[in-house]
Every structure is written in structure tokens, then in C-alpha cells.
């Protein structure tokens, strides 16, 4: 705007014509004229109408800037300047203000005077930078400059840490207070929890994951918060509802106490990774498991502005002189705040560095298109102990990797910016520069690193060596194949034995049946012999003894053939039909059958079967089992004490247990191993065939049950029959 202007001609003739233009051009004070911008009746911005030469020089703007006031000076609302202008427009009164503005490219003390004219705002302003300042003012300006620099540095570091935090493939979370409220978590944590971040943040963790609130997990959180001691969890099992089902999730976690500046524990930082697949693999192959530790950080920057208020430059300087003492205190306070901000940023950086260096996973960062090693933690260096890595390009430090698929993956991640994960990948490497390449297997995550503009400028690598797990898995696979071959051979052997047993059963049945007629003939011949021999011969001692022995032999042979026939029938006959057998009446019938033996032995038979009203079994088979067990107890009674036999029954886990206990001769451990063998007799001083207990075992097993014995020599025995309920 030169010469006369629309603004000049609107002065309603208050000045001589042509005077206002030169006055504005030669004035040392800046003058700006702006028009309010309204939205819904509210002043939301200011549009430029005119800026005189002095103002153009002070602000570095043209005569009529095209951008709005708040576009050029976005910090003006926070500094109170925009409200000052708006009040002048709304009140119509002259307003004055002194402002120290160190934002948006400006750095100075400004004396402002503003008043509304018609629908315009007229502002006169003076930059006091050229005025002499006291030592306190200069110190305040230097301190404010340092504060701005410290704030900018802290904000940059905080933004970088936030970016790394969000992009990290490790699960990172921060919890506050005794309720362990989730105040910070990254996407990796939310993915493992199976919940979006919006449902997780600012809620107690055990409200988010109630199924995970087992006593051991709750105790870990409470102990770390109470004691301030770090806790490292190896293979921590946690129940989590995710993807529509409840899973047992295994973690490697570091619980790190979070402390305030004064050292108080205010929360917990957890860094970890889900190792469910590794744990399940280790459970199959008894391999190694991996742990992860990690970190989180929190930065705060102190921010405060110093304002002064004066009407005239001379009055402002006077007030500043009067406030020297107060300013000195404020300068000291500002300095302390700036130092605290720098210390907080440095502390966060050191904590992040410590957690990365102590992580149980191998971590490195490649920078630039040459993939230069910028960071290598100790666990990564242990993978290649004989090599110098930091500051060297990957192909220079590890040249043999050039032709391997993992190098192509690194280049792809750098080119596409997409994360890549791999499990059990073969990477032949020599651990030392002059070593022999080994077949090494790794699980790893390749994560692109982005700069402030979102461009990929590096690759972050998180790696675990799983060579032992892979080798163990192959060993298990070989063992499984051998086991399958053994099972097939065993199956063939069992089939041959089954056929042999069937043939043997057929032979036994046929032989026992075919031998009955010859034995009957022998018995008839003995009877005929007795009738043919003269009475004097029959009365001779030798003849009588010989005939008696022959009778006993025939009787034993007939008994044995009878047992063989019974056993053969038992082997070949189908399983007897099962029905609900009232137990008490059946036991009473057995007791009546054995009453002569009970009376002869003077035995006491105690019966307690009230807990089992019925038993689902073949009635005939159940009667035979109880008869044989009780008669055996009477047969092998101890001669030195009254005979006492107990029959008990109780239910257990869907089964019925019958017990026959006696105080008889008992059995040694060696005898117990031979107890159910066919024709095996362990006490020869009483008559018997060695068939009864064998038949008991077959009857029980044919009915889907099992029989066992507990015995102590000289004390007694307990036979326990377990049947399906």
C-alpha cells in the first residue's frame, strides 16, 4: 500500500489530506490493520489489511500478507496475544500490553497498543530489542533461549522414543498405581492380548484381562510395585481370551519398576514377547526357552512463559528495574526447570539404552542403504563373538551372508517398509571371521526404521538362535518314525500271538474233550479189576495202597480235564450279558453256599456292601468271582489265629471296587508276581488246582475290569476287584 489508501481515506478528514501515508511510512513504530474473521458469530482469526514499513521490517512480512494472522503465528493464543486483540475488538476501548514473544520465528519484547476502528483492528507495536537491557533482562533472555533449545531437544528425543516405542515388535506396556492401570501400550502388546488399544488404555490390566488374574500373576505385579525390585519372568503362563477362545499364552517378560524423579516407585514397565510357539516346541523336544527383556520410557518437558505488562516503554523499563529481585528468582527457577528437563531426557535415553543392552534377545540396528551396523547389543554380539560389527556395513562385517536368503529379506524390508518374521530359518554362518561356517537356525523379526518424514532409513533386527530346538525337533521326528516302525512290528507280533492263542485254546478244548473217554475207560478197568481180584488180594496192604493211588491219579486227571474244559469255554465263549445285579442278595447266596466251610474253619465273615446296591456285571461271573475269593481266604487261613474275612464295596471315579480282605497266611512279593498264573500253586499243604484265581482274573478282565492284590507274608491279603460302574 503506497500513497493514499482505502484506510487513509477512511479517516473521515481527521487529518490534513495526504498526511497519514507519510506518517505511517516514516514511523519507527510498527502499525498493522486487520479485519476479524468470524465463525458462528465468534472471532476465530484475523485477516491482514495493511502493515507499515516499520512493521514489515520487524516482522519480516510484506505490506499485505495473504496468510491469516494465526496461520503465521499459531502460538499467539497460548501467549495471550490473540485474546488481547479480540478483547480490543469486542470492547472498542484502547488496550495496551507488553509481551515477550519468543515463538514462530520472533524473539523480542513488544509494546502493543490496539483499538477498534469501525470493523477493523488497528495495532501499534514497538520492538524493544534495540533498547538497553539490564543484566537481569539479558540473563532472562539467555535462559529463555536455553529453555527453548532444551524443550526442542527434549521434544525431538521424546518423538523419536515414541516412534521407536510404537514400531517396536516387542510387547511394551506401562502400568500406574496399585490397580496397575494401563497408561501406555504398543500395538504388539494389544495384538498379544487380542484387544484394540482403545479397549486397553486407561483401564486396570486385570479388568481388561480378568482371565489372567491368577494368584501368581497378580503377586508378580504387586511385589514389583511394593518392593521396587525388577522381576524377570521366564515362560510366564497366562490365560488370555483372544480370537474367540481362551489360550494359554507364554511370555518372556521383564517387570521393571517405574520411579519418579524423587525415586518413588509409581508404576511398572513391562517389556516382553510372546514365546508360546517356542515353549510348545521346547515341551515337545525338551529344548531351551528364550527370555526377553525390554523397556519403556516417559518424558516430560517443562513449559512456562514469562509475561510482563506495561503501558509505555518508559513505564515498562521502570517496572522491570523494580522487579529485578523477583526476576532473579524467576531466572534461577527457569534455569532449574531447564536443567530438570535435560536431566529427564537424559535419564530416559539412558534407561532405553540400558534395557536394549540387557535384553535377552539379540538386537541390532542397520542404518542406510548399505545396512551399516549402528547398534549391537551384547546378546547379538555373542552370536558372532569374533567379529567387529559396529560402524561397518553388513557385507563387510559378514561377507558370507551376501548369497543367503536372509540378506535378500533385509533388502526387501528396507525397500518395501514391511515387517518380516521368520521361524527356524537356516543361516550358515562362521561365528568368527576365520572360522568354519556352521548350520545355524534363527527366529527373527526384521522391522523397518522410519525417520521423521516416515521414510525408511534403516532396519531393526530382533533375533533368537534356535539351533538346538531345531536339531532336537529333527531328533524327535526320527524317534517318532522309529516308534511307528516298532509299533507296526509289535502289531504284527500281537496278531500272530492272538492267532496262536486261539489255536492253543482250540487244542486245549479238543484235547480235554478227547481225553475224557480214555480216562473213563481207565476208571472202568480199575472198577473191573477190583471185582476180579480175590478178596485176600484186595486186603493186602500193597494192593490196597496201589489201587488207592491209581484212584487218586484218575480223579486228579478228571479234575484237571474239567478245569481245562472250563477254561477253554471261558476263552471261546462271548462276553456274558451285563445287567444290574443286586449285590446284597448275591453275596448272601454265596455265604450260604460256603456255610459248611465257614463253620468248619470257625471263621467270621464280615459283609459291608451298602455303598453298592447294584453292580452292572454278569450275575454268573460275579458270583464265581466272589465265591473263589472268599473260599481261597478260608482255604489259606493262618492256623495260629481266628479266621476273619471281610467283604467290602465302595464307588470311586465312575467305578465299583470290591475288596476281600483276610488275616491268613499272606504272600511274599515274589509269590504275588506268580499269583494269577494257570496251575501255579503257592501253598501245597492244602488241596487245590491253581485254576481258581486264574479264572477270577479272566472273568474280571472279560467284563472290562481289573484285579489286584496287596499282601504281607504272615499278616494277610486284600484282593481288590475294580469293575465299571
Average pLDDT, the chain: 81
User: Distance between CA 56 and CA 295 in Å, rounded?
Assistant: 51
**How do 579-582 and 604-608 pair as beta strands?**
unpaired
Specify the fold of 169-285: Beta-Lactamase (3.30.450)
The pLDDT of residue 21 is above 60: yes
Q: What is the pLDDT at residue 290? A: 43
Q: What is the pLDDT at residue 294? A: 41
Specify the fold of 362-465: Beta-Lactamase (3.30.450)
In order, the DSSP letters of 264-331 are -EEEEEEEEEE-HHHHHHHHHHT------------------------SSHHHHHHHHHHTHHHHHHHH
Number of helices (H) and strands (E) in the chain: give both, helices first: 24, 22
Which pLDDT tens digit goes with each residue over 181-193?
998 898 888 888 8
From residue 404, alpha-carbon distances to 107, 195, 198, 386, 430 in Å are 57, 37, 41, 20, 13
Q: What is the pLDDT at residue 228? A: 92
Same topology, domains 6-131 and 169-285? Answer is: yes
Q: What are phi and psi of 190, to 5 degrees?
A: -60, -35
Q: What are phi and psi of 391, to 5 degrees?
A: 80, 0
598 or 535, which is more confident: 598
User: Distance between CA 34 and CA 55 in Å, rounded?
Assistant: 13
Q: How do the domains of the chain map onto residue ranges?
A: 6-131, 169-285, 362-465, 472-572, 579-724
- What does CATH list as the number for 579-724? 3.30.565.10
User: Distance between CA 306 and CA 330 in Å, rounded?
Assistant: 9
Q: State percent of the chain over pLDDT 90.
A: 35
The pLDDT of residue 164 is above 80: no
Q: What is the pLDDT at residue 37? A: 94
598 HSE (CA, 13 A, CB side): 14
The pLDDT of residue 562 is above 70: no
Q: What is the pLDDT at residue 73? A: 92
The pLDDT of residue 333 is above 80: no
The pLDDT of residue 70 is above 80: yes
Q: What is the pLDDT at residue 421? A: 93
Cβ atoms of 265 and 255 within 8 Å: the answer is no
From residue 157, alpha-carbon distances to 153, 339, 346 in Å are 6, 15, 9
Cβ atoms of 130 and 35 within 8 Å: the answer is no
User: Distance between CA 271 and CA 291 in Å, rounded?
Assistant: 10
- Per-residue pLDDT, averaged over 676-683, amounts to 58
Q: What is the pLDDT at residue 561? A: 61
User: Distance between CA 347 and CA 365 in Å, rounded?
Assistant: 22
Report residue 36's pLDDT band, with 50, 70 and 90 as the boundaries: very high
Cβ atoms of 693 and 709 within 8 Å: the answer is no
User: Distance between CA 444 and CA 404 in Å, rounded?
Assistant: 15
- DSSP one-letter code for 452: T
The whole-angstrom distance between residue 42's C-alpha and the CA centroid of its chain comes to 54
Cβ atoms of 271 and 295 within 8 Å: the answer is yes
Helix runs in 533-601, H state only = 535-538, 541-572, 583-593, 595-601
100 or 572, which is more confident: 100
Report residue 148's pLDDT band, with 50, 70 and 90 as the boundaries: low
Class of 6-131 in CATH? alpha beta
653 or 441, which is more confident: 441
- Per-residue pLDDT, averaged over 119-144, amounts to 71
User: Distance between CA 451 and CA 356 in Å, rounded?
Assistant: 20
- Per-residue pLDDT, averaged over 19-34, amounts to 88
Closest by Cα among 670, 698, 665 to 683: 665
44 or 315, which is more confident: 44
Cβ atoms of 711 and 705 within 8 Å: the answer is no
Q: Which of 103-117, 265-279, 318-332 is the least confident region?
A: 318-332
Residue 320 CB: number of other CB atoms within 10 A? 19
Rounded to two decimals, the pTM is: 0.32
Cβ atoms of 706 and 700 within 8 Å: the answer is yes
Q: What is the pLDDT at residue 8? A: 47
Q: What is the pLDDT at residue 293? A: 40
Longest Cα pair distance anywhere in the chain, in angstroms? Answer: 184
Taken in order 8, 11, 13, 16, the sign of the CA dihedral is negative
Strand ranges across the sheet with 181-185? 181-185, 171-176, 265-274, 245-259, 231-242
Contacts 24+ apart (CB under 8 A), 579-584: 579/616, 579/617, 579/618, 579/619, 580/614, 580/615, 580/616, 581/614, 581/615, 581/616, 581/617, 581/619, 581/622, 582/613, 582/614, 583/609, 583/612, 583/613, 583/614, 583/615, 583/649, 584/609, 584/610, 584/613
Amino acid at each position: 500500500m503506497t500513497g493514499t489508501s482505502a484506510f487513509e481515506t477512511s479517516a473521515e478528514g481527521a487529518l490534513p489530506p495526504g498526511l497519514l501515508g507519510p506518517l505511517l511510512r516514516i514511523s519507527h513504530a510498527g502499525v498493522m490493520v486487520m479485519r476479524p474473521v468470524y465463525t458462528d458469530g465468534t472471532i476465530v482469526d484475523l485477516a491482514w489489511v495493511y502493515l507499515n514499513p516499520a512493521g514489515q521490517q520487524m516482522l519480516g512480512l510484506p505490506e499485505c500478507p495473504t496468510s491469516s494472522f494465526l496461520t503465521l503465528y499459531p502460538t499467539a493464543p497460548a501467549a495471550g496475544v490473540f485474546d488481547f486483540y479480540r478483547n480490543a475488538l469486542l470492547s472498542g476501548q484502547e488496550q495496551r500490553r507488553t509481551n515477550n514473544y519468543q515463538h514462530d520465528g520472533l524473539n523480542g519484547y513488544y509494546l502493543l497498543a490496539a483499538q477498534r476502528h469501525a470493523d477493523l483492528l488497528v495495532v501499534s507495536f514497538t520492538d524493544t530489542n534495540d533498547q538497553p537491557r539490564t543484566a537481569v533482562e539479558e540473563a532472562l533472555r539467555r535462559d529463555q533461549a536455553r529453555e527453548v533449545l532444551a524443550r526442542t531437544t527434549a521434544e525431538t528425543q521424546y518423538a523419536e522414543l515414541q516412534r521407536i516405542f510404537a514400531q517396536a515388535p516387542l510387547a511394551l506396556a506401562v502400568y500406574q498405581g496399585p490397580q496397575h492401570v494401563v497408561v501406555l501400550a504398543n500395538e504388539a502388546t494389544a495384538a498379544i492380548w487380542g484387544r484394540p488399544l482403545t479397549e486397553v488404555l486407561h483401564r486396570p490390566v486385570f479388568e481388561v484381562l480378568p482371565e489372567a488374574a491368577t494368584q501368581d500373576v497378580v503377586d508378580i505385579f504387586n511385589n514389583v510395585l511394593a518392593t521396587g525390585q525388577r522381576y524377570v519372568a521366564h515362560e510366564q503362563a497366562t490365560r488370555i481370551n483372544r480370537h474367540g477362545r481362551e489360550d494359554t499364552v507364554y511370555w518372556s517378560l521383564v517387570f521393571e519398576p517405574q520411579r519418579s524423579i524423587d525415586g518413588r516407585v509409581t508404576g511398572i514397565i513391562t517389556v516382553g514377547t510372546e514365546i508360546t510357539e517356542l515353549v510348545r516346541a521346547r515341551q515337545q523336544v525338551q529344548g531351551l526357552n528364550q527370555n526377553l527383556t525390554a523397556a519403556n520410557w516417559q518424558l516430560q518437558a517443562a513449559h512456562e512463559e514469562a509475561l510482563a505488562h506495561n503501558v509505555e516503554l518508559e513505564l515498562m523499563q521502570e517496572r522491570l528495574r523494580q522487579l529485578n529481585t523477583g526476576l532473579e528468582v524467576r531466572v534461577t527457577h527457569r534455569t532449574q526447570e531447564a536443567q530438570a528437563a535435560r536431566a529427564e531426557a537424559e535419564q530416559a535415553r539412558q534407561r532405553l539404552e540400558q534395557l536394549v543392552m540387557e535384553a535377552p534377545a539379540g538386537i541390532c540396528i542397520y542404518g542406510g542403504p548399505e545396512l551399516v551396523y549402528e547398534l549391537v547389543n551384547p546378546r547379538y554380539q555373542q552370536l558372532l563373538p569374533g567379529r567387529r560389527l559396529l560402524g561397518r556395513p553388513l557385507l563387510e562385517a559378514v561377507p558370507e551372508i551376501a548369497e543367503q536368503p536372509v540378506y535378500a529379506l533385509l533388502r526387501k524390508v528396507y525397500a518395501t517398509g514391511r515387517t518380516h518374521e521368520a521361524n527356524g530359518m537356516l543361516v550358515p554362518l562362521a561365528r568368527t571371521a576365520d572360522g568354519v561356517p556352521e548350520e545355524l537356525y534363527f527366529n527373527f523379526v526384521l522391522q523397518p526404521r522410519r525417520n521423521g518424514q516416515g521414510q525408511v532409513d534403516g532396519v531393526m533386527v530382533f533375533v533368537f538362535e534356535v539351533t538346538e530346538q531345531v536339531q532336537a525337533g529333527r531328533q524327535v521326528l526320527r524317534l517318532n518314525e522309529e516308534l511307528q516302525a516298532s509299533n507296526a512290528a509289535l502289531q504284527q507280533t500281537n496278531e500272530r500271538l492272538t492267532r496262536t492263542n486261539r489255536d492253543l485254546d482250540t487244542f486245549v478244548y479238543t484235547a480235554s474233550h478227547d481225553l475224557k473217554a480214555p480216562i473213563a475207560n481207565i476208571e472202568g478197568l480199575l472198577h473191573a479189576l477190583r471185582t476180579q481180584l480175590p478178596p485176600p488180594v484186595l486186603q493186602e496192604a500193597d494192593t490196597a495202597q496201589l489201587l488207592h493211588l491209581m484212584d487218586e491219579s484218575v480223579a486228579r486227571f478228571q479234575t484237571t480235564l474239567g478245569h481245562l474244559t472250563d477254561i477253554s469255554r471261558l476263552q471261546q465263549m462271548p462276553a456274558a450279558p451285563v445287567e444290574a445285579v443286586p449285590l446284597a442278595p448275591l453275596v448272601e447266596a454265596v455265604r450260604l453256599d460256603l456255610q459248611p466251610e465257614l463253620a468248619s474253619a470257625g471263621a467270621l465273615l464280615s459283609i459291608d456292601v451298602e455303598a453298592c446296591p447294584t453292580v452292572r456285571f454278569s450275575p454268573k461271573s460275579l458270583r464265581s468271582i466272589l465265591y473263589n475269593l472268599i473260599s481261597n481266604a478260608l482255604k489259606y487261613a493262618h492256623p495260629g489265629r481266628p479266621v476273619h474275612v471281610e467283604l467290602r464295596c465302595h464307588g470311586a471315579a465312575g467305578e465299583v471296587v470290591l475288596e476281600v480282605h483276610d488275616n491268613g497266611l499272606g504272600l511274599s512279593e515274589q509269590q504275588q508276581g506268580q499269583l494269577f498264573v494257570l496251575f501255579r500253586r503257592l501253598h501245597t499243604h492244602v488241596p487245590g488246582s491253581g485254576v481258581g484265581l486264574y479264572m477270577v482274573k479272566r472273568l474280571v478282565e472279560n467284563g472290562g475290569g481289573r484285579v489286584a492284590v496287596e499282601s504281607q507274608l504272615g499278616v494277610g491279603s486284600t484282593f481288590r476287584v475294580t469293575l465299571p460302574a
